[in-house]
């Protein structure tokens, strides 16, 4: 079976990293290739290094309709059995191109949808209308959480057209024996310029307003001088975060790593993962923190909301404002000031293991396009 994944871009965002992870674990009989409409960034390079064929459509913008016939020709030439789109622009162009190319099994994963926001942008009548028109061209829409599925239903997408398949995490990559973990932790702390004895708060995600990383900066200013903040990711808010850190007098205690493809390793350098975003549709970073054995303080994680509290006892939900994070992090610092040992892996991590998730997606492909 031949499967083509169409994604808007391949920078190191959550949806892009999730696609890379899925491709490593889908059933062997499903041969996958990828098309990036634009911006073939770090994830494209990583996929190619892993032997995945990545096409770049060189689309110039949302209204570059000339990209559509190029995409149709590519799909026809590849004789794909399934086309699977990811993110809004890819969903619009990819579903239409797949239908024009004669592909019958057309899947789209909805990674980031709220009632009035899609991928961090407000939903206008035009955006919603285009989304629903494109959805009708597909076969199935995959929702990554019940929250996303409920929003799709509220928008009028029939339940029979929605499949709930959550995101997944590579639990095996996050597991490290004690001595190995200690060595990786020491190496990365030195690389990041973290002083001996630093107590390190981490945040993972694109540097965009919706992640609310400014809350962590303001909380950092309330913590003692040994505390550091490491933000793993890149995005348009980088300069604003640097300015805010300077205003708060904590610029020398902030480390911005930029895009990285070694997030599981970087998590070993942290003492706690903090996620102040209030607009998550899944909460992948929270689960990765749990998989790495970290205590987690977060403001939204639909993935955990769907499980009983005992599934992740080391994760605590708190309001997304600086005083709440300063208090929660200060309390946690007092409790584990001298401990560097990872916490036990909670049941939530196994529930969202990527092998299980990829098997469910592979089974969906088999049902839609039987050999």
Q: What SS3 state is found at 349?
A: helix
Q: Report the length, in residues, of the chain.
A: 371
Q: Can you give the pLDDT at residue 77?
A: 97
Q: Is the dihedral angle over the CA atoms 330, 268, 12, 126 positive or is it negative? A: negative
Backbone angles phi, psi at 221, to 5 degrees: -65, -20
Tell me the pLDDT tens digit for each residue of 89-132.
999 999 999 999 999 999 999 988 887 888 878 889 998 999 99
59 CB contacts (<8 Å, ≥6 apart)?
37, 38, 67, 89, 93
State the greatest distance between any 2 C-alpha atoms of the chain, in Å, as a whole number.
62
What the block records as the tokens of 138 is 């597909």
Residue 175, pLDDT score: 82
CA distance to 33, 37, 70, 352, per residue, from 64 (Å): 23, 10, 11, 37
pLDDT 10s digits, 22-61: 999 999 999 999 999 998 988 999 999 999 999 999 999 8
Residue 304 CB burial class (10 angstroms; 0-12, 13-18, ≥19): buried
> Encoding tokens for residue 132?
């629903």
121-142 pLDDT, tens digit each? 888 999 899 999 999 999 999 9
User: Between the CA atoms of 232, 234, 240 and 246, what dihedral angle is there, to the nearest 10 degrees?
Assistant: 40
| pLDDT of 337 higher than 70 | no
CA 235 to chain centre: 14
3-state helix, strand, coil in the chain (%, to 5): 45, 20, 35
CA distance 320 to 154: 27
Place of tokens 């391949």: 10
Q: How confident is the model at residue 339 (pLDDT cuts 50, 70, 90)?
A: low
Q: Supply the pLDDT for residue 167.
A: 94
Does pLDDT of 199 surpass 70?
yes
Average pLDDT, the chain: 93
Q: Supply the pTM of this predicted model.
A: 0.87
Question: DSSP of 305-333, one letter per residue?
Answer: HTS-GGG-TTEEE--SSHHHHHHHHHHHH
């Amino acid at each position: 079976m031949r499967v083509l994944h169409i994604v808007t871009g391949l920078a190191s965002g959550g949806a892009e990293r999730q696609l890379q992870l899925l491709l490593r674990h889908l059933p062997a009989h499903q041969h996958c290739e990828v098309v990036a409409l634009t911006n073939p960034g770090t994830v494209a390079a990583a996929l190619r290094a892993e032997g995945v064929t990545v096409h770049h459509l060189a689309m110039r913008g949302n209204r570059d309709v000339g990209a559509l016939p190029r995409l149709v020709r590519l799909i026809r030439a590849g004789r794909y059995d399934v086309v699977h789109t990811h993110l809004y622009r890819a969903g619009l162009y990819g579903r239409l191109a797949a239908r024009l190319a004669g592909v019958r099994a057309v899947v789209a994963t909805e990674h980031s949808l709220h009632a009035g926001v899609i991928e961090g942008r407000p939903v206008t009548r035009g955006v919603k209308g285009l989304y629903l028109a494109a959805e009708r061209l597909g076969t199935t829409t995959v929702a990554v959480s019940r929250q996303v599925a409920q929003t799709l239903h509220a928008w009028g997408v029939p339940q029979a057209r929605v499949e709930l398949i959550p995101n997944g995490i590579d639990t095996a990559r996050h597991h490290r024996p004690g001595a190995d973990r200690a060595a990786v932790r020491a190496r990365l702390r030195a690389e990041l310029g973290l002083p001996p004895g630093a107590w390190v708060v981490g945040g993972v995600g694109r540097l965009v307003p919706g992640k609310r990383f400014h809350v962590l900066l303001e909380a950092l200013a309330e913590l003692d001088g040994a505390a550091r903040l490491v933000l793993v990711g890149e995005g348009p808010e980088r300069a604003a975060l640097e300015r805010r850190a300077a205003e708060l007098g904590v610029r020398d205690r902030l480390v911005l790593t930029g895009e990285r493809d070694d997030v599981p390793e970087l998590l070993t350098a942290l003492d706690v993962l903090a996620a102040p975003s209030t607009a998550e549709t899944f909460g992948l970073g929270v689960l990765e923190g749990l998989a790495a054995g970290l205590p987690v303080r977060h403001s939204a994680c639909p993935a955990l909301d769907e499980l009983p509290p005992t599934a992740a006892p080391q994760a605590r939900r708190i309001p997304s404002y600086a005083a709440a994070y300063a208090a929660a992090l200060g309390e946690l610092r007092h409790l584990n000031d001298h401990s560097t040992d990872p916490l036990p892996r909670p049941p939530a991590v196994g529930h969202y293991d990527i092998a299980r998730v990829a098997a469910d997606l592979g089974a969906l492909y088999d049902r839609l396009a039987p050999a």
